[in-house]
C-alpha cells in the first residue's frame, strides 16, 4: 500500500531535505522514525527537496509498505520518534499511482523578510532581516514581468542540475504586514535557489537600488551574473504542493491530524 504524509519542519538543524552520508537531513530523520513504526526500512519520496536551513509547512511525502498500521501510528507514533524540529501533520492511504513529486501540479513558497532598523531575536530562525525600509509596492510591481512560462536561467544557481530552465510561474506577489514582507510564489517547478535569487533581486528593488523594471530585464538577459544576491535560507519556507483533486490530498490548513 502507498501512504502519504504531510510533514512540517524547521530547516535550521538540518543540511536540507535529502539524505546524505556526511550530515543530518530531514529525510534521514523521518525515515528513521517511520522505520521504527513499521519495524522495517522505509524510504520516502518528497514533493520538493529543500536546501540547508529552508523550512517546510506541509511537505508532502509518500512511501510504500506492506505493514498494516493505524494511520495514527504514522502520525502520532512517528512524532514520538522525531525531534522537535519535525512533525507529521496527517497520514492517508493513497492511490498506488500517486507520487508526491511527479503528480504535483505546482508548488508554493513564501520568503519572509523582517524589515526594521533592529534585528529580530524571536523570529531570527524563520525570517531574513533587512534594516533599511523596503518599498513593497515597487517590489510587487516588479513581479508581474515574471508571470507565465519563461526561461529562468538568470535565477538559477551555478550548480543547478535541472535539464532546462523553463518554468511557469502562476502567482507572484509581495505584501507588507507591519514589519514583515511576504514574497509568495507559485510555480509548476523551481530551479535550484530560484526563489532565494528572486528574493535577493526584489530586495535590491525594495531598497531602490534598482527600478522595478530590472527584474524583467534580468529575465530577458538570462545571465545569472547580472542578478542580485541569493537571499539567506532562513527566510524561505516551502508552503505546500498542489495535486489533482482525484488524489484527495488536503490543504495544509485542514485535516492536520486525521
67: CATH: 3.30.70.580
Q: Which of 90, 23, 8, 88 is nearest to 55 (CA)?
A: 8
Same domain, 66 and 14: yes
Q: Which of 88, 103, 118 is the last residue of a domain?
A: 103
Instruction: Judge residue 199's burial from the number of C-beta atoms within 10 Å of its C-beta, 0-12 exposed, 13-18 middle, 19 or more buried.
Output: buried
Q: How far apart are CA 86 and CA 235, in angstroms?
A: 17
Cα distances from 184 to residues 49, 109, 136, 150, in angstroms, run: 18, 6, 13, 18
DSSP of 105-135: -EEEEEEEEEESSS--STTTTT-EEE-S---
Same domain, 99 and 115: no
Q: Which of 40, 75, 103 is the last residue of a domain?
A: 103
Question: pTM (2 decimals)?
Answer: 0.93
Q: Which of 69, 103, 137 is the last residue of a domain?
A: 103
Please give the pLDDT value at position 252. 65
159 counts as catalytic? no
Residue whose cell numbers read 501533520: 89
Same domain, 76 and 125: no
Which pLDDT tens digit goes with each residue over 69-102?
Answer: 999 999 999 999 999 999 999 999 999 999 999 9
Same domain, 164 and 116: yes
Which pLDDT tens digit goes with each residue over 26-39?
Answer: 999 999 999 999 99
Domain count, the chain: 2
Q: Which of 46, 56, 44 is nearest to 195 (CA)?
A: 56
Element (H, E) at 33: helix 26-38
Same domain, 55 and 110: no
Exactly one of 51, 125, 135, 151 is catalytic; name it.
Answer: 51
Q: Does residue 50 have a pLDDT over 90? A: yes
Range of the domain at 23: 2-103
Element (H, E) at 218: helix 214-221
Amino acid at each position: 500500500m502507498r501512504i502519504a504524509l504531510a510533514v512540517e519542519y524547521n530547516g535550521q538543524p538540518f543540511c536540507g531535505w535529502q539524505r546524505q552520508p556526511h550530515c543530518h537531513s530531514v529525510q534521514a530523520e523521518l525515515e528513521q522514525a517511520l522505520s521504527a513504526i513499521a519495524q522495517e526500512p522505509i524510504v520516502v519520496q518528497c514533493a520538493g527537496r529543500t536546501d540547508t536551513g529552508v523550512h517546510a509547512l506541509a511537505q508532502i511525502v509518500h512511501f510504500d509498505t506492506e505493514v498494516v498500521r493505524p494511520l495514527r501510528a504514522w502520525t502520532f507514533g512517528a512524532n514520538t520518534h522525531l525531534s522537535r524540529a519535525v512533525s507529521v501533520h496527517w497520514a492517508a492511504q493513497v492511490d498506488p499511482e500517486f507520487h508526491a513529486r511527479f503528480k504535483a501540479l505546482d508548488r508554493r513558497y513564501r520568503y519572509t523578510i523582517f524589515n526594521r532598523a533592529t534585528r529580530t531575536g524571536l523570529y531570527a530562525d524563520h525570517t531574513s532581516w533587512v534594516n533599511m525600509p523596503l518599498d513593497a509596492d515597487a517590489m510587487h510591481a516588479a513581479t508581474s514581468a515574471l508571470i507565465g512560462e519563461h526561461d529562468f536561467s538568470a535565477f538559477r544557481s551555478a550548480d543547478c542540475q535541472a535539464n532546462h530552465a523553463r518554468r511557469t510561474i502562476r502567482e507572484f506577489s509581495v505584501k507588507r504586514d507591519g514589519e514583515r514582507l511576504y514574497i509568495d510564489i507559485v510555480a509548476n517547478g523551481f530551479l535550484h535557489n530560484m526563489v532565494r535569487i528572486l528574493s535577493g533581486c526584489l530586495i535590491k528593488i525594495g531598497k531602490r537600488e534598482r527600478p522595478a523594471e530590472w527584474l524583467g530585464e534580468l529575465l530577458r538577459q538570462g545571465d545569472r551574473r547580472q542578478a542580485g544576491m541569493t537571499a539567506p535560507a532562513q527566510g524561505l519556507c516551502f508552503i505546500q504542493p498542489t495535486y489533482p483533486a482525484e488524489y484527495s490530498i488536503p490543504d495544509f490548513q485542514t485535516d492536520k491530524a486525521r
